Amino acid sequence: MLRQVAEGVLVHESEFCQSNAVVVHGRAGVLLIDAGVQEHEMACLAGDLAGSGQSVAAGFSTHPHWDHLLWHARLGTPPRYGTARCAASARDQLSDPDTMAYIIEHLEPTGIAEHVPLDLFGLITALPAGTAQIPWDGPRVRIIEHQAHAPGHAALLIEDRGVLVAGDMLSDVLIPMFGMDGTADPFEDYLAALRLLESVAGDAGVVVPGHGSVGGAGEVGARIDQDRAYVLALRDGRDAADPRVGPSAKPGWEWVSDVHHGQLQRLARSVEREGTPG
């Protein structure tokens, strides 16, 4: 079910990891950001749009992780955009014969592997490097590209609606997760991304994370502060003391503690190999 979070901006929350698909109404259709995960949910979303006389004019993937690269045939064949780096990563995945098997193997413990459509996976059109906004006939959507979490990750600011679509950042349930491959300093990448988001936080009264609850007025800055505190704690070797980790984690999200400890181990190995990042 679509839920309005601002004028002309609606969110569909998946059963899988509270994944958020975002719909933005334009003059000749909608922009669909991170379309969803399960087939029946995307089909329902397509039906809801058709029932209201809307079609999808453009899609956008905030970053090149599998759950943000999915699509459903009922959503049509509009251009599906991503940053140049995001699209390059998607092409690399499509050219790798092991990608689909890896995704299915990753999904099998969740019980939804057979419900995730992979036939239109990763068909992303690269926007030219440095593109400042999504090319479509609707409200101005500013692209805020950074390298935290994944190559070519982009947050989107729907300017005259005051909505920040944060991708896999600023979540109330997920901790910052570092892109550990191909980055010289994952801490600085993340801190730089948070500074970029902080520079537009004053223009956003609503924040929509890739996973988790939509945040209202005043929560954008608080979530930036919480993510920064976690990153700095790990960088400095201190206890993160983050409510998203450990006994205080939201019910059903206890596994985030495993993610946290896995990151600590990977970072420790990185330090052993190369010295402290940066």
Lowest mean pLDDT among 73-77, 97-101, 119-123, 183-187: 183-187
Helix (H) / strand (E) containing 23: strand 20-25
Structure tokens of 274? Answer: 């190369």
pLDDT at 180: 61
Return the CATH number of the domain spanning residue range 2-274: 3.60.15.10
pLDDT at 273: 63
Lowest mean pLDDT among 10-14, 71-75, 249-253: 249-253
The answer on pLDDT for 217 being more than 60 is: yes
- Over range 235-248, report the average pLDDT: 92
pLDDT at 177: 95
The answer on pLDDT for 278 being more than 50 is: no
- d(CA 23, CA 46) in angstroms, rounded, equals 11
pLDDT tens column, 118-147:
999 999 999 999 999 999 999 999 999 999
- d(CA 245, CA 257) in angstroms, rounded, equals 5
pLDDT at 226: 97
Task: Grade residue 222 by pLDDT with cuts at 50, 70 and 90.
Answer: very high
Q: Sign of dihedral through CA atoms 268, 238, 168, 192?
A: negative
**Alpha carbons within 13 A on the beta-carbon side of 23:** 24
What average pLDDT is seen over the chain? 94
pLDDT tens column, 145-170:
999 999 999 999 999 999 999 999 99
Task: Grade residue 275 by pLDDT with cuts at 50, 70 and 90.
Answer: low
The answer on pLDDT for 181 being more than 70 is: no
pLDDT at 274: 60
The answer on pLDDT for 5 being more than 80 is: yes
Domain spans in the chain, listed from the N-terminal domain onward: 2-274
- Over range 245-251, report the average pLDDT: 91
pLDDT tens column, 90-115:
999 999 999 999 999 999 998 999 99
- d(CA 164, CA 170) in angstroms, rounded, equals 10
Three-state secondary structure of 131-192: CCECCCCCCCEEEEEECCCCCCEEEEEEHHHCEEEEECCCCCCCCCCCCCCCCCCHHHHHHH
- d(CA 275, CA 278) in angstroms, rounded, equals 9
The answer on pLDDT for 182 being more than 60 is: no
pLDDT at 1: 81
- Over range 239-243, report the average pLDDT: 93
- Over range 63-85, report the average pLDDT: 98
Please give the residue that has the higher pLDDT: either 268 or 155: 155
